[in-house]
Amino acid sequence: MKKIRIPGWLKRVGLYLAVLGPGLITASADNDAPGIATYSMAGSTYGYQFLSIILIVTIGEVVIQEMAARMGVVTGKGTADLIRERFGVKITAFAMLALLLANLGTTVAQFAGIAASAELFGISRYIAAPVAAIVVSLAVLRGSYKYIEKILLILSLSAISYVITVILIRPPWEEVLRATLVPQFELEPNFIIAVLATIGTTITPWGIFYLQASVADKGLAVSDYKYTRLDVTFGATWGNIISAFIVISTAATLFVHGIAVESAEQAAMVLEPLAGSWAKILFSAGLLGASLLAVAVLPLSTTYAVCEAFGFERGLNRKFNEAPVFYFMYIGIIAISVLIVLIPGIPLFPIMWLSQTLNAVLLPVLLVLVLKLTNNDQLMGDWKNKRFQNILAVGLTVFISLVTLALLVTSLMGMSPIF
């Protein structure tokens, strides 16, 4: 029987599809509820100014996520595991505390997104948040990793509605291009908070831990690295293209009319050119899908990291009695997040934005550790960082630190933010 010869390019596509997942999921989860809230608020408040920030952040995200993926492929271990091995218990405990605080805040924001989307449908948060928590927990804990990954990839497509909206409204593309290529920065607390939130919702501490743990969990070899790198690069680029379209759509529909987004109802107005009276439903569906995607990813990121750091068994492919700490922590993070969202009168949309600011403030601590790991000759060998990667990563770390310092200085000068 004659063998069918498969073209080389088709084999390469097949190999890419086989490793596709961690990079795309991590980047797509950045466009979650707090991500949508952050970009909507930034675009409606400052117009197209934040497109240049997104461009800078995209480069930074590709560099940082590639470093994490490379460590996962070369070492077969997660970030937390390597931090414990190389830096000792004290630094590991500090890093895990920072990660736990950032991830808990962001998980709360995800449930705030679920609650906000449900309320647009006329469903009480006291029903929506607990039901979502139960459904997501059961789906994650009872399914295999590969099955859950496919579901998350499908959910990540919900943000395409913003691309269609921008095509329909036809924004001034010359102005969009100029704002993207010419950065503008305002030394004012609200603007600085918005910059930090944009960074924090894109280059997330949890994203680094989750991506590397996912790569290691898939058992990818060094020979798969070029496809993993493609996954990470494509995922980060695609995720930030969506982010840019959210900014463009809010700037073109709300900023021009002097409307700054402060609630889910106002954010939903952006999609009226596409959906008309169905805008609320479309926005709610997108917000809900993005929130569910991140609710499944975020607690996993935390539990992966903490269990790795302190030597506990972890992984969705392990049974409950094999990894009790992993599963108890996952359930605990979700339960605490839901309880916070159910506090009467707690504002939902501001929670989403401010949670991302905390991510950015804590990010430099992790970036310093990741840089030291990826430059370790013994650990990485020939796969350690190149000079240009170090320049970009160090530059990003310094930039975030300076922005955080600027926020502190302006706050001390009495220029208090309104958010």
Residue whose pair of structure tokens reads 């790795």 in the numeric block:
308
How far apart CA 320 and CA 318 sit, in angstroms, is: 7
Distance CA 241, CA 235 (A): 10
CA atoms within 13 A on the CB side of 40: 27
255 vs 315, more confident? 255
Among 359, 361, 363, 389, CA closest to 374: 389
What is the per-residue pLDDT for 289? 77
For residue 1, the model assigns a pLDDT of 46
Within 8 A by CB and 6+ apart from 261, the residues are 37, 40, 41, 44, 45, 250, 254, 267, 349
Enter the pTM of the model: 0.84
Q: What is the pLDDT of residue 16?
A: 46
Choose among 190, 238, 221, 335: nearest CA to 25: 238
d(C-alpha 71, C-alpha 384), whole Å: 9
Give 255's DSSP letter: G
Q: For residues 181-192, give the mean pLDDT.
A: 88
Tens of pLDDT, residues 338-370:
999 999 988 887 888 788 888 888 899 899 999
Confidence of residue 15 (pLDDT cuts 50, 70, 90): very low
Residue with more model confidence, 144 or 230: 230
How much is the pLDDT for 23? 54
- Does the pLDDT of residue 164 top 80, yes or no? yes
Amino acid letter at 417? Answer: P
- 408 pLDDT above the threshold of 90: no
DSSP 3: P
Nearest Cα to Cα of residue 207 among 362, 338, 377, 312: 362
Amino acid of residue 340: I
Distance CA 26, CA 407 (A): 28
Lowest-confidence range among 100-114, 185-199, 237-251, 404-418?
404-418
- At 356 the pLDDT is 86
How far is C-alpha 294 from the geometric centre of its chain's CA atoms?
Answer: 8
Yes or no: say if 222 and 74 are a contact pair by the CB < 8 Å rule: yes
Q: How far apart are CA 349 and CA 333, in angstroms?
A: 20
pLDDT in tens, 290-324: 788 778 778 877 887 888 788 888 777 788 888 88
Q: Quick check: 172 and 33 in contact, CB under 8 A?
A: no
Q: Read off the pLDDT of residues 262-272 as tens digits, 9 standing for 90 and up.
A: 888 888 888 88
Q: Which domains does the chain have, with CATH numbers?
A: 20-412 (1.20.1740.10)
Name the average pLDDT for the chain: 83
Q: Averaged over 326-345, what is the pLDDT?
A: 92
Confidence class for position 281, pLDDT limits 50, 70, 90: confident
> Please, which pLDDT band fits residue 247 given cuts at 50, 70 and 90?
very high
**Does position 71 have pLDDT exceeding 90, yes or no?**
yes
Are 403 and 338 in contact by the 8 Å Cβ rule? The answer is no
Residue 135: CB atoms within 10 A of its CB come to 12
Residues 6+ apart with CB under 8 A from 289: 155, 158
Its sign, for the CA torsion 233, 367, 377, 85, is: negative
For residues 352 and 194, the answer to whether their CB atoms sit within 8 Å is no
CA distance 68 to 212: 5
For residue 116, is pLDDT > 70?
A: yes
pLDDT of residue 337: 95
Residue 28 confidence (pLDDT): 59
Place of tokens 């291009």: 177
Phi first, then psi: give them for residue 72, nearest 5 degrees. Answer: -65, -40
Structural contact between residues 237 and 26, judged by C-beta atoms closer than 8 angstroms: no
Would you state the pLDDT for residue 26? 61
Of these ranges, 31-35, 127-131, 134-138, the one predicted with the greatest mean pLDDT is 127-131
Return the pLDDT at 187.
82
Average pLDDT rounded to a whole number, residues 329-338:
93
